[in-house]
Amino acid sequence: MGYAVRNPRHDSTRLVLEDLSRVRIPMLNRGEESVFQVSVIFAQRGLVPLGDVRIATTYPYGLFEKSISFPARGEAVVFPRPLSVGFALSKGSLDTGTGATRETVSHVRPYTPGDPLSNVAWKKRQPGLVSRVFEGGSGSSGVVVLTPGPDVETKLSQAAYVIDELHRCAKPFGLLVGTTFSGMGTARSHRIEVLTRLALVERIPAPSYEVIPGDADIVIV
């Protein structure tokens, strides 16, 4: 979470901002605007209500507290936590996803954060880590299909991981939940739309494969 705090009146010290976490602000001069960032862990996915933001101080003597609240009511969309899973892309709407994900190594390139560890060529005799780039078998696009099952949260987390992997590889991807198909895309905005749909899932009905493009590969989750 990021907070931009501006002080229009007097120099202030020993401020504490209270929201989803506590942010200590040692000094904020008059007319100055500072940006503070903190890590927030949300307990669950979905829509999370946001309340007022409160800033308080006990200056100068630490005996009395003065505070002011700012209305910041709204909602944040919390995506499912990605859960690493091995997956295979396979052609056809009725396939169960048992095809090979990869076939041949095309080339290697320098490792970048986010590359699957299974792609790292650990035994390459050269400085730094490198990742193997595969071609063939993985198809040109992928549709993540959610199927009914007892552990919905695990399914959603695995689906989020697959979506992130397809987006990272710049492959067109989509999501099917029941009869609702997201369409295909590669853009960051499409990824956010698909992950938002995952975040708001309440139940997983049986999928309707008829709405999937015939040339798309399928990932069954």
**pLDDT value for 137:** 42
**pLDDT value for 31:** 85
Q: Which residues, listed in sequence order, are joined to residue 133 by a DSSP beta bridge? A: 107
Q: pLDDT-based confidence at 131, cuts 50/70/90?
A: low
**pLDDT value for 213:** 79
Share of the chain above pLDDT 70, in %: 74
DSSP character string of 27-69: EE-TT-EEEEE-----SSSEEEEE--EEEEE-TTTSSS-EEEE
**pLDDT value for 149:** 85
CA distance 88 to 135: 13
Q: pLDDT tens digits, residue range 142-173?
A: 888 998 988 899 999 999 999 998 898 888 89
Q: pLDDT tens digits, residue range 28-47?
A: 888 888 888 888 888 899 99
pTM summary value = 0.67
**pLDDT value for 106:** 46
Q: Is the pLDDT of residue 199 over 90?
A: yes
